[in-house]
Amino acid sequence: MKHLLRLTLLPVLSGLTGCASLYFPPPPHAPLLTHEGEFYGAVSTNQHNNYAMQGAYALTNHLGVAGTFSSLHRNKSAKTENIDFGEVSLGYFTRLPDKRVLEVYVGGGGGSTERIERDNDQVTTKKLNGSLSKVFAQVNYARKKNDNLRLFKHDFPLTYGAALRMSYMQLNNFHINDQLAPGENNLFFEPITFTRVELGGPVQLQLISGQIFGFRSNKYLKAANSVFQVGIVVNLGGDSSGDN
């Protein structure tokens, strides 16, 4: 329960960091694969209307592939933002004693970004657009179904863990008001925590919270958005015991 209470405060905190950036981080994936043939799928969203779809599949007892597609399209009076981004990765996973899972992924991705700024008369004052590319490494650690959340005389098994991701991002083919401009690059550290509540069978409710830290002080490609996602996870063919 303490993990759920902590995560419910994150929408407020994440709203404090919504400064303008041409990059909105998709949630790091944490499929928690355990053996060959296992499938993981997730759909999530947040208060910024950022939607993410994720999937993973265990090719062998220790090798898995994963993919993410993230989309942000929001139109306000002062600006319009459109960001679409996709990622693919290859990973190693293993089961540890006491229902724990360890995963290591490396991957890359790319997409497009656009921001249109307007004045009070709805006249466009600035148009920014370009392409995004990324390479990353990520480590996931979790304990599967170790605790229970008891509601309405029913027990709901909990899974909770953390993911640590390091990403190198580039803003390429960058244009300001249709004029070519110098691109930017940045190194991001993206730590998150996640909690999953089993709703029934393979279906779980997932809460993700975290932050993004940039190592460069850029104007357009910077760490300006935190990570908070609420979604549904489906895990098929998995081993909930997590034992070796």
Instruction: Give tens-digit pLDDT for 165-189.
Output: 999 999 999 999 999 999 999 999 9
CATH homologous superfamily, domain 2-23+36-236: OMPT-like (2.40.128.90)
At residue 21, the pLDDT reads: 87
Look at residues 100, 43, 85, 88 and name the one whose alpha carbon lies nearest to residue 234.
43
Q: What is the pTM of this model?
A: 0.84
Mean of pLDDT over the chain: 86
- The model's pLDDT over 188-205, given as tens digits with 9 standing for 90+, comes to 999 999 999 988 889 999
Residue 66 in contact with residue 59, Cβ under 8 Å? no
Q: Which of 9-13, 124-128, 180-184, 219-223 has the lowest mean pLDDT?
A: 9-13
Separation of alpha carbons 177 and 231, rounded Å: 37
- The model's pLDDT over 22-72, given as tens digits with 9 standing for 90+, comes to 998 888 999 999 999 999 999 999 888 889 999 999 999 999 999 999 999
